[in-house]
Amino acid sequence: MAIADQRTTTRLTLDLWHPNCWAIEATGRTPGGVLAHAIYNSPTTEGDHPGTVQGLFTAFGDTEDDVEQLLDAIQASDHSGGLSKLQERFGRERNAPGNVVQEFFLEYDPDDMVCPTLLEHGFIHSAPVRIEDGREEWQVCFVDDRSKIQDALDGVRRDAGAEVTVDSITTTENAGGTERDRRLDTLTTQQREVFEHARAAGYYEWPRESSTRELASDLSVSKTTLLEHLRKAEAKLLNP
């Protein structure tokens, strides 16, 4: 019986900047961030944005004012079209950070997207894109030899005019690791940094040797941001 050819699957977290992006522009100037979920064909092709698409996004921030500033900056961008708010939700969402979140549809030019370039070079989008501080965080899979990743990244940089760095990388062939190692590989760079620092600082000792306020000060982040990353890291590490 013939055995099918098996190719390596490598998961990467990419830190990325590219030109002509309304989300990168807006988050670089205001607090809060954006999660990009899905893209749909635009129902219209008239007006200032012919051939546009509609995207579903979540704006998030620590306060309502943070979110409103972000949405205003998005609407002011030369690279965005019509914005339609959906139901506003308060409190922590399962898949959205921040204390205040606002889902919205946005019309924009697909030529400004970096996703097709990533796909062309073998990187398959595997989770919502997170945009904060003028940078995008992409969770992607590369289904080919790991040795080809660097050339593929260079192709993305060249074709999209992008800045790309690798925050984390793990390969399915690395089956010899422990269950703990595999779970740690699922954390984002920020989640792992916060979790590892909390553990090193004695946060999980009894009695605790460090408070969340002290951890936040050590990492130069707000207490809210620290707790967000820490809780998400704990959920990934502890869930069965």
Per the model's pLDDT, the better-predicted residue between 72 and 205 turns out to be: 72
Give the pLDDT of residue 22.
95
Residue 24 token pair = 């990168």
Give the pLDDT of residue 27.
96
As a whole-number percent, the residues of the chain with pLDDT over 90 amount to 44
CA–CA dist 111, 92 (Å, integer): 33
Distances in Å between the alpha carbon of 23 and those of 13, 18, 125, 170, 226? 18, 10, 17, 28, 23
- In degrees and rounded to multiples of 5, residue 164 shows phi and psi of -135, 130
Question: What does the pLDDT average to over 33-57?
Answer: 72
Residue 64 token pair = 């309502």
- In degrees and rounded to multiples of 5, residue 87 shows phi and psi of -65, 130
Average pLDDT score, the chain:
83
Map out the domains of the chain with their CATH numbers: 7-175 (no CATH), 179-238 (1.10.10)
Output the 3-class SS for the chain: CCCCCCCCEEEEEEEEECCCCHHHHHHHHCCCEEEEEEEEECCCCCCCCCCCEEEEEEEEECCHHHHHHHHHHHHHCCCCCCEEEEEEEECCECCECCCEEEEEEEEECHHHCCHHHHHHCCEEECCCEEEECCEEEEEEEEECCHHHHHHHHHHHHHHHCCEEEEEEEEECCCCCCCHHHHHHCCCCHHHHHHHHHHHHCCCCCCCCCCCHHHHHHHHCCCHHHHHHHHHHHHHHHHCC
- In degrees and rounded to multiples of 5, residue 68 shows phi and psi of -65, -40
Per the model's pLDDT, the better-predicted residue between 24 and 235 turns out to be: 24
Give the pLDDT of residue 104.
94
Q: Are the CB atoms for 129 and 121 separated by under 8 Å?
A: no
Per the model's pLDDT, the better-predicted residue between 185 and 204 turns out to be: 204
The predicted-structure confidence for 202-219, as pLDDT tens digits, reads as follows: 888 888 888 999 999 999
CA–CA dist 240, 232 (Å, integer): 14
As a whole-number percent, the residues of the chain with pLDDT over 70 amount to 82
The predicted-structure confidence for 107-161, as pLDDT tens digits, reads as follows: 998 888 999 999 999 999 888 899 999 999 999 999 888 888 999 999 999 999 9
**If you count them, how many residues does the chain have?**
240
Residue 63 token pair = 């306060």
Give the pLDDT of residue 159.
96
| pTM over 0.95, yes/no | no
Indicate whether 34 pLDDT > 90.
Answer: yes
Which of the residue ranges 34-48, 92-106, 183-197 has the most confident prediction, judged by mean pLDDT? Answer: 183-197
Residue 53 token pair = 């698409």
